[in-house]
């Protein structure tokens, strides 16, 4: 059995496949150990693993040749024999924000005959075979690699369709407000921020890079600004202020404060109290 890119198509033996239900749908999805994240929104992906044409039902009927893929917000896997289609669902928080726009639009049929789609097609068919036969352990690293490949495919589709993610002019300010509201949380990091907004860490970094900064630098500057205001009031010690605003190490806080403002936190506090 050969697909449209000349690659042998593996037979999918579903006797051992892990399956997960989707809402009112009872069809099987190949389950991967995605890392924990917030939200239960997914982008659904189906791939024709048979040697012939398959008709897939999403928002309408789509005809898939061997190796072709379909991306959609909803799929009906229960309508297709397991030997013809393999279905995946990828959490949106592992993908770039553009995936949300793709999910909310009509389903997208993608030819698996060449280019990046062919590579993704071959990888997913092999993954489906491994997941079904249990010959290969599907671990969390492989799940993340799968998400990265799907993210690349989504970006290419969105470039072709000129679909857009939620406007960065809206998303970035929302993220910045979230950071400002959680400055005192010393555990706040790019991973937690990305999960809270259902975007990938990579896309989060991209948003801040477009503004000429980094996530870490922006958080650090907001914390320093908050510390400077707090120190001016003189109600707490330097160490207490640093800890309150998420700086774990007082010595690190003193160093970055001096780099930012040219004086130590204690010097700033004393100067502010003398001027009062």
pLDDT in tens, 49-90: 888 898 887 777 888 999 999 988 887 766 666 678 888 988
Of 136, 161, 186, the position where a domain reaches its end is 161
Residues 183, 187, 188, 193, CA torsion sign: negative
141 shares its domain with 41: yes
Q: Once rounded to an integer, what is the mean pLDDT over residues 202-216?
A: 88
Residues 168, 173, 179, 183, CA torsion sign: positive
Q: What does the mean pLDDT of the chain come to?
A: 78
pTM, 2 dp: 0.51
Of 143, 161, 179, the position where a domain reaches its end is 161
**Cα of 207 vs its chain's centroid, Å:** 14
Q: Which ranges in the chain belong to alpha helices (H)?
A: 98-104, 115-133, 140-161, 168-181, 190-196, 201-209, 215-233, 238-244, 250-261, 265-275
229 shares its domain with 214: yes
69 shares its domain with 139: yes
For 124-147, what is each residue's pLDDT tens digit? 988 887 754 443 445 777 888 888
Given this model, what pLDDT does residue 133 score?
A: 44
30 shares its domain with 153: yes
84 shares its domain with 100: yes
19 shares its domain with 154: yes
142 shares its domain with 183: no
Residue span of the structural domain in which 151 resides:
14-161
Given this model, what pLDDT does residue 70 score?
A: 92
189 shares its domain with 104: no
Given this model, what pLDDT does residue 182 score?
A: 93
CATH number of the domain within which 35 lies: 2.60.120
Cα(34)–Cα(192) distance, integer angstroms = 15
Of 116, 131, 161, the position where a domain reaches its end is 161
- Band the pLDDT of 118: cuts 50, 70, 90: very high
Is 218 a residue whose pLDDT tops 90? yes
CATH number of the domain within which 195 lies: 1.10.10.60
97 shares its domain with 188: no
111 shares its domain with 31: yes
Given this model, what pLDDT does residue 214 score?
A: 93
């Amino acid at each position: 059995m050969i697909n449209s890119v000349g690659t042998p198509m593996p037979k999918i033996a579903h006797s051992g496949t892990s399956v997960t239900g989707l809402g009112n749908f009872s069809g099987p999805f190949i389950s991967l150990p995605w890392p924990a994240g917030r939200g239960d929104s997914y982008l659904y992906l189906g791939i024709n693993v048979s040697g012939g044409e398959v008709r897939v039902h999403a928002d309408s009927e789509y005809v898939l040749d061997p190796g072709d893929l379909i991306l959609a917000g909803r799929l009906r896997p229960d309508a297709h024999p397991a030997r013809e289609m393999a279905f995946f669902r990828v959490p949106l928080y592992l993908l770039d924000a553009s995936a949300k726009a793709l999910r909310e639009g009509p389903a997208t049929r993608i030819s698996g005959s060449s280019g990046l789609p062919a590579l993704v097609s071959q990888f997913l068919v092999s993954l489906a075979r491994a997941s079904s036969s249990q010959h290969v352990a599907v671990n969390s690293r492989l799940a993340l690699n799968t998400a990265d490949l799907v993210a690349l495919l989504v970006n290419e589709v969105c470039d072709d369709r000129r679909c857009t993610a939620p406007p960065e002019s809206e998303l970035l300010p929302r993220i910045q407000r979230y950071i400002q509201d959680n400055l005192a949380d010393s555990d706040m990091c790019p991973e937690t921020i990305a999960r809270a907004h259902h975007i990938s860490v990579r896309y989060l970094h991209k948003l801040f890079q477009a503004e000429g900064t980094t996530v870490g630098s922006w958080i650090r500057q907001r914390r320093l600004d908050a510390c400077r205001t707090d120190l001016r009031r003189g109600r707490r010690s330097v160490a207490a202020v640093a800890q309150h605003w998420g700086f774990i190490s007082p010595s690190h806080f003193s160093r970055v404060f001096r780099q930012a403002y040219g004086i130590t936190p204690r010097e700033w506090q004393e100067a502010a109290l003398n001027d009062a």
